[in-house]
Amino acid sequence: MPAPRIQVQGFTACFDGKPAVKNLDLEIFPHERLAIIGPASSGKTTFLRSLNRLNDLDPGFTHSGEILRDGKNIYDADVDVAELRRKIGMVYAVPVPLPWSIYDNLVYGLRLAGVRDRATLNERVETALRYAVLWDEVKDRLHEPANVLSGGQQQRLCIARVLVLEPDVLILDEPCSGLDPISTGKIEDALVTLKERHSIVLVTNNTKQAARASDRTAFFLLGDLIEVGPTAQLFTKPTHKRTNDYLVGQFG
């Protein structure tokens, strides 16, 4: 196994003193798709939002333990949070393009990062759209408002606007929860290509999606990581009874 890109060590996240993720140890490797499954309020989203420090926006958020990215704790005082968020790109459950054109959505992150050169912007936009399997559908109307796209296209746009920043890790929070099966398939296809360049963390409520679209799967329950392993193994021979109960649908 190559060196992990992200190492989570003894990480606990609390809101108003109540732990949402407890003493978590987990590694994320390059070129892998890690699925995170578990019932509601098991800490999946909290974990995801800890990776790009989006939980910092919540005044009640506190944490302990470490999340190391290339060996450095992302919660250290000297970390550039904006840069971190560009390198750990997040996609939300509900696609929310900003109320601008498709093109402006795509270049927003780059402009924030100080990229001004037209040619670079255009080139990165095209590459990102191709990786997100959206280029053919929007190449002739980049300057139309983003909200005229369908839900599935908007979600791929949201993925593309993260990809233009060339992140190390792509974190997706139930990216297909509002999409039809065809759109879902397109996004899952995109993930296969994307893992060539990025680590992917996919939170999903759909265990079938985890089985289809991941290399390893982690099972969370009430803030605890119950087990993590290669997806095929976890789904066929889970080590823990509670994992098995969840997979066969006994709760959650």
Partner 1 sequence: MKRDRLIGAILLVVALSAISGLALITVFIFREGVPIILRVGAGQFFLSTDWEPSLGHFGILSMIGGSLAVTVGAAVIGVVFSLGLAIVLTQFAPPALAAALKPAIELLAGIPSVVYGFVGVVTLVPLIRHSLGGPGLSVLAASIVLGIMILPTITSIAIDALQAVPRSYVEGSIALGATRWQTVTMVLLRAARSGIVAAVILGMGRAIGETMAVIMVAGNALALPHSLLDPVRTLTSNIALEMGYASGDHRQALFATGVTLFVIITLLNTAALAVSRRRAGRRRVG
CA distance 137 to 88: 26
- What is each CA distance from 132 to 66, 128, 193, 206, 238, in whole angstroms? 32, 6, 9, 21, 33
CB nearer to partner 1: give 95 or 238.
95
- What is each CA distance from 24 to 67, 213, 236, 248, in whole angstroms? 10, 23, 24, 25
CA–centroid distance for 125 within its chain:
20
Q: Is residue 151 part of the contact set for partner 1 (CB under 8 A)?
A: no
CB of 242 to partner 1, least distance (A): 32
The residues near 79 (Cβ < 8 Å, ≥ 6 apart) are 72, 73
Residue of 15, 29, 92, 135 interacting with partner 1 (CB under 8 A)? 92
Q: Is residue 113 part of the contact set for partner 1 (CB under 8 A)?
A: yes
Q: Is residue 86 part of the contact set for partner 1 (CB under 8 A)?
A: yes
CA distance 222 to 216: 20
Q: Rg of the chain's alpha carbons, rounded to an integer?
A: 18
Q: Is residue 237 part of the contact set for partner 1 (CB under 8 A)?
A: no
Q: For the segment 158-177, give every residue that binds partner 1 (CB under 8 A).
A: 158, 161-162, 165
Residue of 94, 148, 192, 248 interacting with partner 1 (CB under 8 A)? 94
CB nearer to partner 1: give 35 or 102.
102
CB nearer to partner 1: give 53 or 242.
53
CA distance 26 to 126: 34
Residue of 12, 22, 73, 108 interacting with partner 1 (CB under 8 A)? 108
CB of 207 to partner 1, least distance (A): 26
CA distance 209 to 176: 9
- Note the residues at the interface with partner 1 (CB under 8 A): 52, 54, 57, 59, 82-83, 85-86, 89-90, 92, 94, 96, 98-101, 104, 108-109, 112-113, 143, 145, 158, 161-162, 165
